[in-house]
Amino acid sequence: MTESAAHATVLHLQDVTRTYQSGSSTLTALDRITLGCRRGSWTAVMGPSGSGKSTLLNCAAGLDTPDSGQVFLDGRDIASLSDDLLTRMRRTEIGFVFQQFNLVAALNAVQNVSLPLRLAGRKGADRAALDALGSLGLGKHARHKPRELSGGQQQRVAIARALATRPSILFADEPTGALDSASAATVLDLLRTLVDQQAQTILMVTHDPVAAARADHVVFLRDGRLVTTLSGADATQIAATLADLETPALSGAHG
Ligand SMILES: Nc1ncnc2c1ncn2[C@@H]1O[C@H](COP(=O)(O)OP(=O)(O)OP(=O)(O)O)[C@@H](O)[C@H]1O
């Protein structure tokens, strides 16, 4: 990989604004957000409830459309893509991991992981899915259905599925939110390994300072604005920054 490829910006949001209309009032969920994710970096998004984290992830993933501003994925403005190209981009260049795993209950692990490959029309989907599960230490569980797996194992299958098409970026929405702390640690170790060894790019929403501390950068939102960024911070610093952001909202709620 060349130096420039190693440091290429995979995702760039430029002045992204998203509002919602509620009766006669306008709620600004995202307010001129500018943010970049470089290849092989892991960025966590934190902020009080309602600060715009999910909206940010959805706009970045092309699942929601900003009112203004631009979202570039691998240098392409996603608003300029046709519906067909946008669908293809979502299937192949973006991976998504959710709090509740969202595996298909009727399918076993290998069938779940091969699903996006089949949708993308790739040959050898089962072989690739088996390889992906094996590399995540889940080879023994390939034929297990989701209900036969622990929460941490299900989330690792979901990560294997999200990465099956080798997406440029993995979006993770509270990936450890439904896990006990030991399973969460395993999933976070896996994400860290993917970033360090495969230059995977990750954008993750989390409420958990311990999870955010595993990322390279933490961006903090409040009222739709990006208010501060920490790099290389530990969980204590991250928790303190989050508490500072939540304090005015709490006093407002009681005032
Ligand atoms: N479809 C919608 N219609 C109207 N308002 C919305 C809609 N989606 C989100 N909002 C509002 O936009 C703001 C940001 O919401 P968002 O879900 O992005 O916040 P969040 O930081 O992810 O919250 P949480 O931590 O509680 O999940 C909130 O005030 C929310 O009520």
Question: Does residue 69 have its Cβ closer than 6 Å to ligand 1?
Answer: no
pLDDT of residue 190: 92
Please give the distance, rounded to the nearest whole angstrom, from the Cα atom of residue 5 to the centre of ligand 1: 35
Q: Which residue owns the Cα nearest ligand 1 atom 6? A: 20
- Higher-pLDDT residue of 132, 206: 206
Question: Does residue 206 have its Cβ closer than 6 Å to ligand 1?
Answer: no
Structure-token pair, residue 108:
């076993």
Please give the distance, rounded to the nearest whole angstrom, from the Cα atom of residue 152 to the centre of ligand 1: 27
Convert the pLDDT of each residue in 208-250 to its tens digit. 999 999 999 999 999 999 999 999 999 999 999 999 999 865 5
Indicate the residue type of 233: A
Convert the pLDDT of each residue in 52-92 to its tens digit. 999 999 999 998 999 999 999 999 999 999 889 888 888 88
**102-108 long-range CB contacts below 8 Å, 24 or more apart?**
102/158, 103/146, 103/154, 103/157, 103/158, 103/161, 104/146, 105/145, 105/146, 105/147, 106/145, 107/145, 108/142, 108/143, 108/144, 108/145
ipTM of the prediction: 0.97
Question: Does residue 29 have its Cβ closer than 6 Å to ligand 1?
Answer: yes
pTM score over 0.90: yes
